[in-house]
Amino acid sequence: MMNKSEIKTQEKQAASLPAKQWLTLNINGTEKKLELAPWTSLLDALREYLGLTGTKKGCDHGQCGACTVLVNGKRINSCLTLAVMQENKEITTIEGLAQGNALHPMQTAFIEHDAFQCGYCTPGQICSAVGLVNEGKAHTDDDIRELMSGNICRCGAYPNILEAIKQAKGEMNNA
Amino acid sequence: MHSFSYSRAEEIASAVSKKAVGQQAAKFIAGGTNLLDLMKAKVELPQQLIDINPLPLKSIEATENGGLRLGALATNADTAYHEQVQQQYPLISQAILAGASAQLRNMATDGGNILQRTRCYYFYDTATPCNKREPGTGCSAINGFNRIHAILGTSEHCIATHPSDMAVALAALEATVNVTGTNGERSIPMLAFHRLPGSTPHLDNNLQPDEIITSLDLPPQGFAQHYTYLKIRDRESYAFALVSVAAALDMDGDTIREARLALGGVAHKPWRLPEAEAMLNGKTPTKENFGAVATAYLDGAQGYGDNTFKIELAKRAIVRALLQASSKK
């Protein structure tokens, strides 16, 4: 049991709940000002506050990869970071990969190889695959499979995803 | 997620003093990959998050004695792919890359890696008793589903395992954990960093509430010629170890000068028995010699039903890892 002063302290803390704060996120080359509570994940900020619903919420626990975005060119799970922690960084989502009407080579390759069925994991797969090529550590098919293991596809489109990544990897490296 | 306050720490001293004031209600956040997950599961409910990412602890630098210092905020990916880590400490690199996913390794830090908490199902499930989560409530795993649980160093209060791969390699290489607290700096050998559950399973390690990990020191000897990190798991990638073995040998021709062996997935901490390692000094790398060490390592192991298979699995994994390490050129 709490005594009265403890309850008062708790009420006081509740009354002074950390307010939402203004922060600036650089998303797909554009600065966005947002008023967010500290506990808003980057994923929720993108989907619920910025209308960027291309990034998907799958497990919300970092296990499925559907929420993968690029931060300073590196792929991360946007569900496992707070929006407030990503100020002053360059965030790229699936919406930011195309140049105008020209799709990113990875997007084109996914279409050409039919690398999805339901498509829910696809934005995460594509952002993850772009990060994989940027990292430059995948040299064999097995390397690609291993380094894409953070992206689950429950339709089982893995063979076509692999082929798509191989095609785009060649194009991106020759670009 | 629940509500909490958020602030950034720009200096180690201010991070430590903020943490000292907040005590258990305050948590440092770096990569956040484990902490935020635990907060979503309502296992961790800090009232205050202190973001330590601004601290100057990201570098990986050679030390004067010929070793290497890994900054606590260096990411797992940057560490695993660091040129000197790959050349001098390939065991560390291999262990890190055996864990998590590429996305998580880009976020997770070296300090956070060794502080990550168990993936025991009951620890995560707030509807069940768990002495680690809520001391005194009991252990649901001992008589429950315990396929992933510990077989060594357990207690009647907890049979959770430590989930890190990197920590197993760090233990084998006798790394040191450098920490700073309100009373100054100290260094803790890896073997003394994590704890056995005993009657206090809520304590994973010996870091004090006001202390922060600043770096991990690797000694000069990296066993880069003869090493293996062997990880056995239910799927081939992106899964925690059922059993893992970090094996490192210093060899003179066909004679073992020194052996290091640490097990993961079997205990509350990386499991190392220096006196059993010493059985290999001056010996040749044969299945029989390695089998004797394996038997010594699993001496006293206890299964709890679902996880009893781990005892034999660990013995075979030790022999295989040592054979691989000894034949590596």
- DSSP bridge partners of B60: B70
Q: Say which of A37, A38, A75 has its CB closest to residue B106.
A: A75
CA-based R_g, chain B, Å: 19
Same domain for A38 and A84, yes or no, is: yes
- What is the overall mean pLDDT for chain B? 97
In A, which residues are within 8 Å of B3 by CB distance?
Answer: 17-18, 37, 39
Chain A's closest residue to B34, CA to CA, is: A80
Provide, rounded to the nearest whole percent, the portion of chain B with pLDDT above 70: 99
- Tell me the average pLDDT across B3-18: 96
- Tell me the average pLDDT across A78-104: 97
CA distance A122 to chain B (A): 15
Chain B's closest residue to A16, CA to CA, is: B5
Q: Is residue A118 part of a domain?
A: yes
Q: Is residue B259 part of a domain?
A: yes
Surface of A (28-67) touching B: CB under 8 A? 37-39, 41, 60-62, 65
Indicate if the pLDDT at residue B71 is higher than 90.
yes
Question: By the CB < 8 Å criterion, does B284 face chain A?
Answer: no
DSSP B120-171: -HHHH-TTS-BTTTSTTS-BSSTTS--TTS-SSS-BTTB------SHHHHHH
Domain containing B292 — which CATH number? Answer: 3.30.390.50
Supply the pLDDT for residue B217. Answer: 98
Determine the residue among A145, A149, A158, A162 to mutate to test chain B binding: the one whose Cβ has the most chain B Cβ atoms within 10 Å. Answer: A149
Q: How many domains does chain A have?
A: 2
Supply the pLDDT for residue A18. Answer: 67
What are the phi and psi torsion angles at B246 (to 5°)? -100, 115
Domain containing B13 — which CATH number? Answer: 3.30.43.10
Dist. CA B99–CA B169, nearest whole Å? 12
Same domain for A115 and A151, yes or no, is: yes
Q: Cα torsion for B17, B22, B23, B26, to the nearest 10°?
A: -110
Supply the pLDDT for residue B205. Answer: 98
3-state secondary structure of B223: coil
Contact at CB, A62 and B33, closer than 8 angstroms: yes
CA distance B255 to chain A (A): 34
Same domain for A29 and A81, yes or no, is: yes
Determine the residue among A16, A74, A87, A141 to mutate to test chain B binding: the one whose Cβ has the most chain B Cβ atoms within 10 Å. Answer: A74
Q: Is residue A65 part of a domain?
A: yes
Domain containing A160 — which CATH number? Answer: 1.10.150.120
Q: pTM of the prediction?
A: 0.95
Q: Is residue B141 part of a domain?
A: no
ipTM above 0.90, yes or no: yes
Q: Is residue A6 part of a domain?
A: no
Q: Is residue A168 part of a domain?
A: yes
From A15-24, B6-15, B17-26, B62-71, the region with the lowest mean pLDDT: A15-24
Same domain for A64 and A122, yes or no, is: no
Same domain for A166 and A115, yes or no, is: yes
In B, which residues are within 8 Å of A135 by CB distance?
Answer: 77, 102
Q: Is residue A142 part of a domain?
A: yes
Determine the residue among A13, A17, A80 to mutate to test chain B binding: the one whose Cβ has the most chain B Cβ atoms within 10 Å. Answer: A80
User: Residue A16 — pLDDT band, cuts 50, 70, 90?
Assistant: low
What does the pLDDT look like over A62-87, one tens digit per residue? Answer: 999 999 999 999 999 999 999 999 99
Question: By the CB < 8 Å criterion, does B125 face chain A?
Answer: no
Same domain for A122 and A91, yes or no, is: no
Q: Is residue B102 within 8 Å of A150, Cβ to Cβ?
A: yes
In B, which residues are within 8 Å of A148 by CB distance?
Answer: 102
Q: Say which of B32, B40, B103 has its CB closest to residue A65.
A: B103
In B, which residues are within 8 Å of A78 by CB distance?
Answer: none
Residue B18: which domain range?
5-53
Choice between A174 and A44, residue whose per-residue pLDDT is larger? A44
Residue A116: which domain range?
105-174
Dist. CA B78–CA B93, nearest whole Å? 10
Dist. CA A46–CA B209, nearest whole Å? 34
Q: How many domains does chain B have?
A: 2
Domain limit, last residue, from A59, A76, A95:
A95
Question: By the CB < 8 Å criterion, does B6 face chain A?
Answer: yes
Q: Is residue B285 part of a domain?
A: yes
Domain limit, last residue, from A95, A124, A144:
A95
In B, which residues are within 8 Å of A37 by CB distance?
Answer: 3
Supply the pLDDT for residue A175. Answer: 75
Domain limit, last residue, from A62, A95, A128:
A95
CA atoms within 13 A on the CB side of B225: 12
Dist. CA B106–CA B86, nearest whole Å? 17
Dist. CA A168–CA A81, nearest whole Å? 28
Q: Is residue A34 part of a domain?
A: yes
Residue in this structure with the two tokens 């002053």, named with its chain if needed: A88
Q: How crowded is residue B81: how many other Cβ atoms within 10 Å of its Cβ?
A: 17
DSSP chain A: ---HHHHHHHHHHHHTPPPPEEEEEEETTEEEEEEE-TT-BHHHIIIIIS--TTS--SSSSSSS-TTEEEETTEEEEGGGSBGGGGTTSEEE-GGGSSBTTB--HHHHHHHHTT--SS-SSHHHHHHHHHHHHHHT---SHHHHHHHTTTS--TT--HHHHHHHHHHHHHHHHH-
Same domain for A144 and A86, yes or no, is: no
Same domain for A83 and A139, yes or no, is: no
Domain containing A81 — which CATH number? Answer: 3.10.20.30
In B, which residues are within 8 Å of A64 by CB distance?
Answer: none
Supply the pLDDT for residue A17. Answer: 62
What does the pLDDT look like over B174-232, one tens digit per residue? Answer: 999 999 999 999 999 999 999 999 999 999 999 999 999 999 999 999 999 999 999 99
